[in-house]
Amino acid sequence: MEYDDFVTHCIDLYMGKPKSAKTTIAGTYPKPMLYVSIGNDGGGRVLSKYGNDEIKVKNLRNDFPVNGKIAKTSIEKLASLLADLRKPDADKFKTIVIDTIGAMQDDYKSYMEFQKNGKSISQQEWGDVSKMMLSIKDNMKRFSEEQKVTIVWLTHTNELETYETSGLAKEIRIVPDLTIKTGVKYMKDASNIFYCCRKSVLEPDGSKQVKFLTYIGPHPLMDTGTRDMSLEVGDFVENFTYDKWQELIKAGKLTKANVIDLSEGENKADSNELKE
């Protein structure tokens, strides 16, 4: 009897507020890299230090209306791009970064509203947006499996009010900037989910310093987690990079050299600070 290998996709999801170092971290992933900017909000500027041989850039956005029609949306353009990259003579990349997946949803929503002369879309039409988002998600997942490419999804965040099963306690959860159902399915297919933030940390001399932190592992208020490393409890790591992540995977744990102590005084991380 023949058995199959553990052939799977490799997708990392980074979520966080703007300017929380998501794109900077993505830029540390293996090269050559294709950076796909949805909407081109300028976030990829931090990658300009890399040469054109290391990082290629592709800007995608909805086409401008011509004769009352939008020819292609950013989602459809991404599907075409992936089709081109599947061709034998296409450029080969080790990493593809999508910045941001939320912008794809916004673009398709704008397309649907344009079709209705600017009117808000209905709940049923939101279902059409979700179908397109899930279709391109599955396309990226297959591409990662077929081409052995790491895909990095970047997204902003939303705050979601949830209740315990008893219905007595309410909490705020930090979730991707997508509709709830779509976000859950994107998170399900992500190999690892990280949360990025900026935080003012109190130094021993009493001064404050801004640090860029990434939460690794399970968190009570966020659906972060890792499949590449088994963790029962997560923590913040400073100046996170792809190489640092590989070192942690090899160690099989979060080492003290990488973890930031936020347990005392003004360094304590609570739900309000996670909203920065």
Q: What is the pLDDT of residue 271?
A: 38
Q: Which of 132-136, 153-157, 260-264 has the lowest mean pLDDT?
A: 260-264
Checking DSSP bridges between strand 157-163 and strand 95-99, what pairing results, if any?
Answer: unpaired
Are the C-beta atoms of residues 74 and 99 closer than 8 Å to each other? Answer: no
55-60 and 33-38: which strand pairing?
parallel
User: Cα(first)–Cα(last) distance of the chain, in Å?
Assistant: 54
- Residue 272 in this model has a pLDDT that exceeds 50: no
In whole angstroms, give the CA distance from residue 14 to residue 195.
6
- Cα gap 124→122, rounded to integer Å: 5
8 A C-beta contact, residue 151 and residue 9: yes
Tokens of 80: 């075409």
Cα 84 to chain centroid distance, Å, stands at: 23
Give yes or no for a contact between 35 and 25, defined as CB atoms under 8 angstroms apart.
no
Q: How far apart are CA 189 and CA 268, in angstroms?
A: 32
User: Residue 96 belongs to what H/E stretch?
Assistant: strand 95-99
Domain ranges of the chain: 1-172, 191-276
Interatomic CA distance for residues 103 and 63, integer angstroms: 14
Rounded Cα distance between 275 and 253, Å, is 26
168 — pLDDT class (breaks 50, 70, 90): low
Instruction: Please report the pLDDT score of residue 7 as a whole number.
Output: 66
| 1-172: in CATH 3.40.50 | yes
Q: What is the pLDDT of residue 167?
A: 59
Of 270, 273, 137, the closest CA to residue 198 belongs to 273
